[in-house]
Amino acid sequence: MTNYYSDNRDLKFHLTHPLMEKIVVLKERNFSEKQEFDFAPMDFEDAMDSYDKVLEVVGEICGEVIAPNAEGVDAEGPRVVDGHVQYASGTRLNLDALIKSGLMGMSLPRRFGGLNFPIVPYIMAADIVSRADAGFVNIWGLQDCAETINEFASEEQKAEYLPQVAVGATMAMGLTEPDAGSDLQAVQLKAAWNDEKETWLLNGVKRFITNGDGDISLVLARSEQGTKDGRGLSMFIHHKAKGGVTVRRIEHKMGIIGSPTCELVFKDAPAELVGERKLGLIKYVMALMNGARLGIAAQSVGISEAAYREALSFAGERVQFGKAILRFPAVYEMLSVMKAKLDASRSLLYETARFVDLGKTYSQISEERRLEPEERAEMKKYQKLADFFTPLVKGMSSEFCNQLAYDAVQIHGGSGFMKDYPVERIYRDARITSIYEGTTQLQVVAAIRGVTTGAFLARIREYEAMKTDPELAFLKRALIIMSDEFEHAVNHVMAVNDNEYVDFHARRMVEMAGYIIMGYLLMLDANRDREYLRSARNFTRLAKAQVRAHSEFIGSSSIDDLGSYKYQQA
C-alpha cells in the first residue's frame, strides 16, 4: 500500500520539532477538554499520537485514491451544468474519501465538530495532498476559510456554518473581480441592506474564484456606496442554498485543471455580514489571505516533493551512453539542488506554521483570560514573525516549486514533454503557485517591511546565536558572512532614502533574507539529524552564490540607474 505520509521521513521529522510541545500544550489549554470530549488528548504524547494517526490516514488516501485519480481528473476537468459546477468524477471520489474519514474542519474547535488540530499538522496534510494532486488540494484546502469565520464571525454564525464544514461542506473565497486583482481596494461587487427582506443583497461579478460554487463562500463586497478604497469594503458569508449566484463559466486553464476556477454572477444574492462593516479588506481579508498563503506554500512544497520524486526515479532508470543518467554530474547536481531547495522550502514552511500556531493560539487564549506579561510579549513576537514569514515562504517556496518542476521535466528529456509521464502535469500545475494568493511581486510588497524594519535580520541573528555542534561550524561561518553582506546591502539601499529605489531592490533583498533564513533552518535541521547535512551543505553553497550575486547587483547600482530600466507608457 502506498502511503504518502509514512513513505516520507521528512514529515515526521518536522512534526516532532521541539517547539511542538509548547504549541500543543497551549492549543489544548493544558488538556482541559478531556472531560468534555472523550477523543480529546490527555497529554502531549497522546496529542502527537493522534496527529500521527490522522496523517497516516491522509497519506493512505493520497497514495491509494487521490494520486491514482490525478491523471483522470486532469483529463476530464469540471463542467458547468445549469449554472453550477459538476466536479470531475475522480474529484468527487477524492472528496468523499476525505469526508468519510473525518478530514474536514481539521483545525476547527471540537465543539463545532472539528479536530482542534494546530496549524502544523493541518498544513502537513495539505503538503501531502498537494503531492498527490495539486489541483485537488484547492477544493479540500479551502476549508481554511472556516478559520476566518471562527476568528471573526458571531457565535450564531459559527454555530450555523462551522459544523457544516466539519461534515464536508466545501468553501470558496470570493475576492477577485475583472478590475480588482492584486489591487483589491478596487472591488466593486455591491452589498446593500434590504429592509423588506431583512438581509444584505449582493450584486455584481467575481472572477477567477476557485471552487466558486462551493457550499459556503466568504465574499468581499462594497457595502459603503460612493466609496472608492478599501475602507468601503466588508466581508460577507453567502450560502449556496440561499441562491442568487450562478457560475457563468469555468476558466480553461494551463494547470490545476480539476480545480474549478469560476466566473460568478451575483443577482440579489442574500448574504450575512461578518464582523464589522468596513473592516472587510483591512482586517478580515488580511487574515484570510495569510491562511491561504500558507496553504499555497504547502501546495508548493507538495508539488516540489512530487517533482523531485519523479525526476529521481526517472534518472535512476533511464540509461544513456551505457549508464543511468543519474550518474552524470550534470544530472546528479540538478537532483541534489532540487532536494536542497525542497528541504529548505519545507523547513521554512513548518517554521512559519509554528509561528502562526503560537501567535494565533495566544490570541485565542487572550479572549478567554488575561495573558501574563510574558505571554503577551510572546504573542506579539510570534504574530510579527508570522506576518513576515508568511509572504516570505509563499514567495520563496512557490518560485522554488516552479524551478523544481522545470528541472524535473528537463531530467526527463523529451519524455518530460509528453503526457505519458506525470511531470508534464506537475509542471503545468506548478505555474500557478507564484501567481495566486498574490503574485511573488505582491509577496515582496508584504515582506519588504521585514527587511526595512530589521525584523528579518534580528531573527537571523537569533538563529546565529542558537547553539549547534562544532561539526556544523563551517555552515554557520558561511551564513554569518552572508548575513553581513545582507546587512551591508540593505544599508546601502536605505541610505539613498527613496521609496522607489527600495521597491526596485525589494525582491533582491527579500530573497537574500529568504536564502539566509532557509540556510539557518537547514543547519538547525542538520543539528537535530545528520541526514539533513547534505542538503544544508548544498543549499548553503547555493545561497552563498545567490546572496553574493544580489549583493553585487545592489552594491554596483545607484538611483541614477533606474532611468535605464523605465518605460514610457504608450
**3-class secondary structure, 489:** helix
Counting every residue, how long is the chain?
570
Strand partners, 362: none
Between 182 and 313, whose beta carbon lies closer to ligand FAD? Answer: 182
Report the residue from 265, 445, 502, 562 that binds ligand FAD according to the rule CB under 6 A: 445
Pairwise CA distance, residues 71 & 99, whole Å: 21
Q: Report the nearest approach of ligand FAD to the CB of residue 299 (Å).
A: 12
Which DSSP string do the residues of 275-303 spell out, in sequence order? SSTT-IIIIIIHHHHHHHHHHHHHHHHHH
Between 138 and 361, whose beta carbon lies closer to ligand FAD? Answer: 138
176 binds ligand FAD (CB under 6 A): yes
Report the residue from 112, 208, 308, 388 that binds ligand FAD according to the rule CB under 6 A: 208
Q: Are 216 and 228 in contact (CB under 8 A)?
A: no
Q: Which residues, other chains included, contact 322 with Cβ-Cβ below 8 Å and sequence gap of 6+?
A: none
Report the residue from 441, 452, 468, 546 that binds ligand FAD according to the rule CB under 6 A: 441
How many residues of this chain interact with ligand FAD, rule: CB under 6 A? 20
**Within a 10 A sphere around the Cβ of 365, how many other Cβ atoms?**
16
Choose one: 38-46, 176-184, 316-324, 398-406; the region binding ligand FAD (CB under 6 A): 176-184
Between 174 and 416, whose beta carbon lies closer to ligand FAD? Answer: 174
Choose one: 208-216, 223-231, 365-373, 379-387; the region binding ligand FAD (CB under 6 A): 208-216
| Residue carrying the nine cell digits 551591508 | 488
Report the residue from 164, 217, 261, 443 that binds ligand FAD according to the rule CB under 6 A: 261
Q: Report the nearest approach of ligand FAD to the CB of residue 5 (Å).
A: 27
Between 23 and 173, whose beta carbon lies closer to ligand FAD? Answer: 173
* N- to C-terminal Cα separation, the chain: 60
Structure letter (DSSP) for residue 417:
G
Pairwise CA distance, residues 203 & 188, whole Å: 9
Pairwise CA distance, residues 393 & 376, whole Å: 25
Catalytic one of 437, 485, 487, 500: 437
Q: Are 200 and 194 in contact (CB under 8 A)?
A: yes
Amino acid at 176: T
Between 24 and 442, whose beta carbon lies closer to ligand FAD? Answer: 442
Report the residue from 148, 150, 170, 210 that binds ligand FAD according to the rule CB under 6 A: 210
433 binds ligand FAD (CB under 6 A): no
Report the residue from 120, 146, 175, 542 that binds ligand FAD according to the rule CB under 6 A: 175
Strand 233-239 vs strand 216-222: parallel, antiparallel, or unpaired?
Answer: antiparallel
**Within a 10 A sphere around the Cβ of 146, how many other Cβ atoms?**
28
Q: Which residues, other chains included, contact 547 with Cβ-Cβ below 8 Å and sequence gap of 6+?
A: 482, 485, 486, 512, 515, 516
Report the residue from 185, 199, 336, 439 that binds ligand FAD according to the rule CB under 6 A: 439
Question: Active-site residue 437, yes or no?
Answer: yes
543 binds ligand FAD (CB under 6 A): no
Which DSSP string do the residues of 442-479 spell out, in sequence order? HHHHHHHHHHHTSHHHHHHHHHHHS---GGGHHHHHHH
**Within a 10 A sphere around the Cβ of 229, how many other Cβ atoms?**
12
Q: Report the nearest approach of ligand FAD to the CB of residue 308 (Å).
A: 24
Q: Report the nearest approach of ligand FAD to the CB of residue 351 (Å).
A: 25
532 binds ligand FAD (CB under 6 A): no
Pairwise CA distance, residues 140 & 169, whole Å: 10
173 binds ligand FAD (CB under 6 A): yes
Pairwise CA distance, residues 549 & 205, whole Å: 45
Q: Report the nearest approach of ligand FAD to the CB of residue 445 (Å).
A: 6
Q: Report the nearest approach of ligand FAD to the CB of residue 43 (Å).
A: 39
Report the residue from 432, 446, 516, 521 that binds ligand FAD according to the rule CB under 6 A: 432
Choose one: 59-67, 94-102, 118-126, 204-212; the region binding ligand FAD (CB under 6 A): 204-212
Pairwise CA distance, residues 376 & 394, whole Å: 27
Between 504 and 520, whose beta carbon lies closer to ligand FAD? Answer: 504
Q: Report the nearest approach of ligand FAD to the CB of residue 253 (Å).
A: 6
Which residue is at the shortest CB distance from ligand FAD? 181
Between 443 and 527, whose beta carbon lies closer to ligand FAD? Answer: 443
The three grid cell numbers given for residue 128, joined into one nine-digit string: 501531502
Distances from the Cα of 484 to the Cαs of 489, 491, 551, in angstroms?
A: 9, 11, 10
Q: Report the nearest approach of ligand FAD to the CB of residue 149 (Å).
A: 16
Structure letter (DSSP) for residue 42:
S
Choose one: 42-50, 125-133, 203-211, 534-542; the region binding ligand FAD (CB under 6 A): 203-211
254 binds ligand FAD (CB under 6 A): no
Active site members = 437
Per CB under 6 A, residues contacting ligand FAD are 173-176, 181-182, 208-210, 253, 261, 432, 435-439, 441-442, 445
